[in-house]
């Protein structure tokens, strides 16, 4: 196989590195953990992404899970263009927000009110404030390897780019900002019980990714989410599901629908914006009405509820509502990919492979054993992942550039794409040791 040409990407990366830290606007986009540097994108359509040197890739990152229907879906592009023509920002309420809020409240269980923001990070920081303000308590419990955005209080033992870059505690976050953040290993209820014991009347919220997708893909053990619900009820804490990834990806109603476990606050991001910057905090009227202006808890945003972003998000959600089979389809495709990868790895017999799929999420680790938490994920080889990543990229498959991220399967991925990916993987597995 002839090496791909990366001349223009390399040149842009050199320029970008002199203008932006690491040449990127967000650290997860750097290819540092896979011993490479990023390609620069010219355009993308459906399941494929094309770089400035004309190389095409089957994209399994899909803007980090923001896209469910693939890149540049015509309906969303049209909605964006129509909305932009009527004005890109009003700074005043619009009908689109009402429709969007009605749609979110209709789709997500146990939710009566929604506050729109512009990113998952904003949703996470606002939820922490709401939980503390509403309960009058200070402590937050989160799980190692879960990522809830980069707000100070939540940037403790975080997954995603923090794990990828091996940043222990982040400089610039004061001890004070994280003194009230408690961390536990994912999938271990006994640890949660013993850790909260001395503080049981001080915990404002338990925050969790109901399916962890920022330490690679780690699915919850049977009964785990029910157990967190029970502990939260016992100690009078709020249960916050960070559904920035799982929302509209596991089911139309997210993880609450999929696992039949109720959350007090739901964080949304990524898919909710249909590729534009939207996040949301959703929950009961009693809780959400404590935000200003109805309540005393301040939270605001100049571009919150932006009409172009609302148009993209609303169109995306309406496409989901119009297509009840979508979650079965994407899950079947994700499972088919995972089966193919496992068979190919078995056949090559060079490296052990553990893989899982749920909804439009897939993930794999180079491990003999099932991976149920961050410690186990972190013990897998970064070097093997890096070699695999580079081999796949050379064969036209764009995987996440870190073993601490999930693969995103959407409606644009076909069985032909899966075949291509599995064949490429078979080739690359054969070269691994």
Ligand X SMILES: *Cc1c(COP(=O)(O)O)cnc(C)c1O
Residue 157 contacts residue 115 (beta carbons within 8 Å): no
Q: Which of 209, 264, 405, 411 binds ligand X (CB under 6 A)?
A: 209
DSSP letters along 132-164, please?
HHHHT--EEEEETT----S-GGG-SS--THHHH
Nearest of 115, 145, 143, 119 to residue 130 by alpha carbon: 115
Min dist. Cβ of residue 219 to ligand X (A): 14
What residues pair up with 141 in beta bridges, in sequence order? 182, 206
Verify binding: residue 405, ligand X, rule CB under 6 A: no
Verify binding: residue 214, ligand X, rule CB under 6 A: yes
Q: Which of 9, 48, 62, 119 binds ligand X (CB under 6 A)?
A: 119
Span interacting with ligand X, options 49-57, 146-154, 195-203, 413-421, rule CB under 6 A: 146-154
Span interacting with ligand X, options 116-124, 189-197, 229-237, 317-325, rule CB under 6 A: 116-124
Kindly state the number of chain residues that form the binding site for ligand X, as judged by CB under 6 A: 14
Q: Which of 124, 305 has the CB closer to ligand X?
A: 124
Q: Which of 38, 46, 70, 120 binds ligand X (CB under 6 A)?
A: 120
Verify binding: residue 121, ligand X, rule CB under 6 A: yes
51, 180, 188, 242: the catalytic one is 242
- CA dist 177 and 152 (Å) reads 6
Catalytic (active site) residue 57: no
CA angle 110, 309, 25 (to 5 degrees): 105
Bond preceding residue 374 cis, omega within 30 of 0: no
| Binding to ligand X, residues 233-252 (CB under 6 A) | 242, 244-245
139, 142, 270, 387: the catalytic one is 270
- CA dist 234 and 121 (Å) reads 28
Catalytic (active site) residue 147: yes
* Cα 4 to the center of its chain, rounded Å: 30
Span interacting with ligand X, options 68-76, 119-127, 232-240, 290-298, rule CB under 6 A: 119-127
Residue 384 contacts residue 299 (beta carbons within 8 Å): no
Residue 114 contacts residue 280 (beta carbons within 8 Å): yes
Which positions touch ligand X (CB under 6 A)? 119-121, 124, 147-149, 209, 214, 242, 244-245, 269, 279
Indicate which residues carry an active-site annotation.
147, 242, 270
């Amino acid at each position: 196989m002839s090496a791909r040409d990366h001349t223009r990407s390399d040149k842009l990366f050199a320029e970008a590195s002199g203008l932006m830290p690491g040449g990127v606007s967000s650290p997860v986009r750097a290819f540092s953990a896979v011993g490479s540097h990023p390609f620069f994108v010219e355009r993308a359509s459906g399941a494929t992404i094309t770089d400035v040197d004309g190389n095409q890739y089957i994209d399994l990152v899909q803007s980090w899970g923001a896209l469910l229907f693939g890149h540049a879906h015509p309906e969303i592009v049209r909605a964006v263009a129509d909305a932009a023509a009527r004005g890109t920002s009003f700074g005043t309420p619009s009908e689109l927000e009402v429709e969007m809020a009605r749609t979110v409240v209709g789709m997500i269980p146990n939710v009566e009110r929604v506050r729109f923001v512009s990113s998952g990070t904003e949703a996470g920081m606002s939820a922490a404030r709401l939980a503390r303000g509403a309960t009058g308590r200070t402590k937050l419990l989160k799980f190692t390897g879960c990522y809830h955005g980069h707000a100070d209080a939540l940037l403790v033992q975080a997954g995603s780019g923090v794990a990828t870059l091996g940043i222990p505690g982040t400089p610039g976050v004061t001890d004070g900002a994280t003194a009230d953040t408690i961390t536990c290993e994912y999938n271990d209820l006994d640890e949660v019980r013993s850790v909260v014991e001395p503080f049981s009347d001080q915990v404002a919220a338990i925050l969790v990714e109901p399916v962890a997708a920022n330490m690679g893909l780690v699915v919850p053990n049977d009964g785990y989410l029910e157990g967190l619900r029970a502990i939260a009820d016992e100690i009078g804490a709020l249960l916050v599901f960070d559904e920035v990834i799982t929302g509209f990806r596991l089911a139309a109603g997210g993880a609450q629908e999929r696992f039949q476990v109720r959350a007090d606050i739901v964080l949304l991001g990524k898919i909710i914006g249909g590729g534009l910057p939207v996040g949301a905090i959703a929950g009961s009227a009693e809780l959400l009405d404590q935000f200003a202006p109805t309540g005393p808890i301040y939270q605001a945003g100049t571009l919150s509820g932006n009409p172009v972003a609302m148009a993209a998000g609303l169109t995306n959600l309406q496409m989901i509502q119009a297509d009840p089979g979508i979650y079965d389809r994407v899950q079947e495709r994700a499972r088919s990919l995972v089966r193919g990868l496992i068979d190919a790895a078995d056949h090559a017999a060079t490296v052990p492979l553990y893989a899982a799929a749920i909804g439009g999420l897939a993930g794999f680790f180079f491990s003999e054993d099932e991976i149920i938490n961050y410690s186990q994920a972190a013990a897998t080889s970064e070097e093997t992942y890096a070699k695999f990543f580079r081999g796949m990229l050379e064969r036209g498959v764009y995987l996440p550039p870190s073993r601490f991220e999930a693969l995103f399967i959407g409606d644009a991925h076909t069985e032909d794409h899966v075949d291509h990916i599995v064949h490429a993987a078979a080739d690359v597995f054969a070269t691994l040791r």
